Amino acid sequence: MRYAEIKHCDIANGTGVRTSLFVSGCRRKCPGCFNLVAWDFGYGYDFTPEVEDEIIDSLRPSYIAGLSLLGGEPMEPENQAALLPFVRRVKEELPEKDVWVFSGFTWEELVGGPGETGDTPELLSLVDVLVDGPYVDELRDITLRFHGSSNQRVIDVPASLAAGEVVSWSDDPVFAKRGMEGWVSSTVEPAIA
């Protein structure tokens, strides 16, 4: 696998301060994509064991919330093959760090549709948040948090896998206090002081 860029101390691609890995290669080629250069599977740099070590080291400080995987397209089969052992390592060495994936594939394509690949189920089981769906320029909305067009969703992966359906991610404190059990509504009750 090759990668286009690594951003350290990134605050735009998930909650908190993060390390973001932009992989190279994307067949979806969404019109209006912000990262055209990363469509080419040959662009950038080799994803070597030394690069993995650098990213792991960058995740170690307590102020780093986690790892974000973007592209290009992290869920392309070639990229999944390299990312799966790496994300396994992140979860083993740094279990307190969360993993976000930004993908042009939809949840439905990834969990069992015709586009599913051999590594997809295990890789998804290691992901905390998935921002899914192709970027659609006509649906661009700069007010959305962590996604660029209104067709995209921010998905709580563990809750969705447990429920067997898409559960929207939320970092609302009331939501976090209630826990995940039975949560399907997008409304939140007012907090009691």
Which CATH number do you get for residue 61? 3.20.20.70
The domain total for the chain is 1
Query: Is residue 81 in a domain?
Result: yes
Query: Is residue 187 in a domain?
Result: no
Query: Is residue 184 in a domain?
Result: no
Which two tokens mark 90?
């992140």
Question: Domain range holding 146?
Answer: 2-178
Query: Is residue 28 in a domain?
Result: yes
CB atoms within 10 A of CB 184: 10
Q: DSSP assignment of 61-103, as one string?
A: STTEEEEEEESS-TTSHHHHHHHHHHHHHHHHH-TTSEEEEE-
Per-residue pLDDT at 150: 79
Query: Is residue 121 in a domain?
Result: yes
Whether pLDDT at 94 is above 80:
yes
Among 29, 108, 26, 23, residue whose Cα is nearest residue 68: 23
% of residues, the chain, pLDDT over 90 = 63
* Cα distance between residue 152 and residue 102, in whole Å: 10
The pLDDT tens digits of the residues spanning 123-167 come to 999 999 999 999 887 877 777 777 777 788 999 999 999 999 999
Query: Is residue 51 in a domain?
Result: yes
Q: Which residues pair with 114 in a beta bridge?
A: none
Query: Is residue 193 in a domain?
Result: no
CA distances from 63 to 8, 16, 41, 80, 146 (A): 12, 8, 32, 27, 20
HSE-CB at 144 with a 13 A cutoff on CA atoms is 15
Query: Is residue 139 in a domain?
Result: yes
Per-residue pLDDT at 119: 75
